[in-house]
């Protein structure tokens, strides 16, 4: 089969590589992709929102399956567009993608179907939101209702921080229309973990869980980012907790979406936290997480293309996963998640891709014969090993052998599991 992956980041690099390593797949294209993927797959210069051009490419090149990576094209209806033209595509419809595209939609769904989550309220008026925060006190969580590239959440530990977040989101429209409505939630304490599943026609294929590190700096300090590293498995989360999350969150959510008339096909990403009352939902995404994908998908032993074909045609297929652990560290441009300078030269990357160590390109560009930074998060370096500790040591040994002038990375990815 021939596959088109839509997107251009590290997540899409991992998806494309997994397809490329599948015996059932004869060709992998990525639109638009990035320069770092070019050696493994064919990049196509079509933007993720150019639906007509993408559909034309699929027809002309007889692509068997289109796999959508990022949230924006899903929220804007790419799946509906392709389905209307009889093209095979994997992802939720525009209505089903509201599970990620609108925090209030997701919270109301969870409330109606008794899916465990933090208590909350929604606001479009800044002063009303501030009054609510003063009543509740800190710590408290403020979220932009719409898509904000993983940066629309403020975990405010003080009242001042919370009130400032309201001014930023509603008053200053920091995220445009996405923050004209905000959701304010109670703060939940506990271990966080990401639980992703393949879903189609009511069938659910859960993946191994992962844990992401959202804060920019060591010790979980600094601003929230799109993710500074991840690892899988997560040994401090027991199998019984995972089963409880599957039974009380994943299954009920898939069933609820069907009952609402918006059946879900795609990657159901449940961002969860283990509280004293059991696992609760922090957020849903309607696609693979980044950077979790880069440490979960490479653990798949099964033929990815064969599995996807079986899933979409109703066939039975048992996914198999490597028992080894995988840990990945994001390299970001100085200043991230704020303003960053593009065009800064990266060290020699080929030397890092050896054995079980892989490099996923997220925001890189080729200038001459050298890669340079072309965004906030530029790379993720990951290693597979028998234990998380061994994987962590290998990744950091690899990183330490290079000069990273103009870039930074956390030095403690995996610390919650490796004491």
Could you report the per-residue pLDDT of 356-365, keeping only the tens digit for each?
899 999 999 9
The string of DSSP letters for 268-333 reads EEEEEEEETTEEEEEEEESS--TTHHHHHGGGB-S-HHHHHHHHHHT------B-SSEEEEEEEEE
| DSSP annotation of 120 | E
* 43 contacts 33 by C-beta, under 8 angstroms: yes
* 146 contacts 122 by C-beta, under 8 angstroms: no
pLDDT of residue 311: 97
Distances (CA, A) of 323 to 205, 206, 299, 305: 17, 15, 8, 21
Residue 246: which of 205, 277, 192, 301 has the closest Cα? Answer: 205
**Which two three-digit tokens encode residue 240?**
């019984």
- Angle, vertex CA 225, rays to CA 281 and CA 283, nearest 5: 15
pLDDT of residue 291: 97
Structural domains present in the chain: 2-93 (3.40.50.20), 125-180 (3.30.1490.20), 191-313 (3.30.470.20), 325-408 (3.90.600.10)
Bridge partner list, 206: 197
CA distance 3 to 61: 10
Give the pLDDT of the chain (419 residues) as one tens digit per residue.
999 999 999 999 999 999 999 999 999 999 999 999 998 999 999 999 999 999 999 999 999 999 999 999 999 999 999 999 999 999 999 999 999 999 999 999 999 999 999 988 888 888 898 988 998 888 998 988 888 776 788 888 899 889 999 998 988 888 888 888 888 999 998 999 999 999 999 999 999 999 999 999 999 999 889 899 999 999 999 999 999 999 999 999 999 999 999 999 999 999 999 999 999 999 999 999 999 999 999 999 999 999 999 999 999 999 999 999 999 999 999 999 999 999 999 998 887 888 889 999 999 999 988 999 999 999 999 999 999 999 999 999 999 999 999 999 999 999 999 97
What is the distance between the terminal CA atoms of the chain, rounded to a whole angstrom? 45
pLDDT of residue 55: 98
Residue 100: which of 183, 215, 187, 15 has the closest Cα? Answer: 183
- The b-or-e profile of 215-229 (16+ CB within 10 A means b, else e) is bbeeeeeeeebbbbb
* 418 contacts 325 by C-beta, under 8 angstroms: no
Helix crossing, 126-136 with 159-166: angle to 10°? Answer: 160
pLDDT of residue 150: 66
Confidence (pTM): 0.93
Count CB atoms within 10 A of the CB of residue 320: 11
């Amino acid at each position: 089969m021939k596959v088109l992956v839509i997107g251009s980041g590290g997540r899409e690099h991992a998806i494309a590589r997994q397809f490329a390593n599948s015996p059932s797949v004869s060709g992998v294209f990525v639109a638009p992709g990035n320069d770092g993927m070019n050696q493994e797959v064919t990049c196509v210069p079509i933007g993720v929102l150019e639906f007509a051009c993408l559909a034309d490419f699929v027809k002309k090149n007889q692509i068997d399956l289109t796999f959508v990576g990022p949230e924006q094209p899903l929220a804007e209806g790419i799946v509906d567009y392709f389905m209307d033209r009889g093209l095979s595509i994997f992802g939720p419809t525009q209505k089903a993608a509201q599970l990620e595209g609108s925090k209030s939609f997701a919270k109301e769904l969870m409330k109606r179907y008794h899916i465990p989550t933090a208590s909350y309220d929604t606001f479009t008026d800044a002063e009303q939101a501030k009054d609510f925060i003063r009543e509740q006190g800190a710590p408290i969580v403020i979220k932009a209702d719409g898509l904000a590239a993983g940066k629309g959440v403020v975990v405010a530990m003080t009242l001042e921080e919370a009130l400032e977040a309201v001014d930023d989101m509603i008053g200053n429209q920091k995220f445009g229309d996405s923050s004209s409505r905000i959701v304010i939630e109670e703060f939940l304490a506990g271990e966080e973990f990401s639980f992703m599943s393949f879903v189609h026609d009511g069938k659910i294929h859960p993946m191994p869980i992962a844990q992401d590190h959202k804060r920019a700096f060591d010790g979980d300090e600094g601003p929230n980012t799109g993710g500074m590293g991840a690892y899988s498995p997560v040994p401090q989360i027991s199998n019984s907790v995972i089963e409880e999350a599957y039974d009380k969150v994943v299954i009920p959510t898939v069933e609820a979406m069907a009952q609402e008339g918006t059946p879900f096909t795609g990657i159901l990403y449940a961002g969860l936290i283990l509280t004293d009352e059991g696992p609760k939902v922090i957020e849903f995404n309607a696609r693979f997480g980044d950077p979790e994908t880069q440490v979960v998908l490479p653990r798949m032993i099964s033929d990815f293309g064969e599995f996807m074909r079986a899933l979409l045609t109703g066939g039975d297929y048992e996914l198999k996963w490597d028992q080894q652990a995988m840990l990945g560290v994001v390299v970001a441009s100085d200043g991230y998640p704020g303003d960053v300078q593009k065009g800064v030269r990266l060290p020699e990357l080929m030397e890092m891709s050896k054995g079980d160590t892989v490099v996923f390109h997220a925001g890189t560009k080729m200038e001459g014969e050298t890669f340079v930074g072309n965004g906030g998060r530029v790379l993720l370096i990951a290693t597979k090993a028998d234990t998380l500790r061994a994987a962590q040591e290998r990744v950091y040994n690899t990183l330490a052998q290079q000069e990273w002038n103009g870039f930074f990375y956390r030095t403690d990815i995996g610390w919650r599991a490796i004491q």
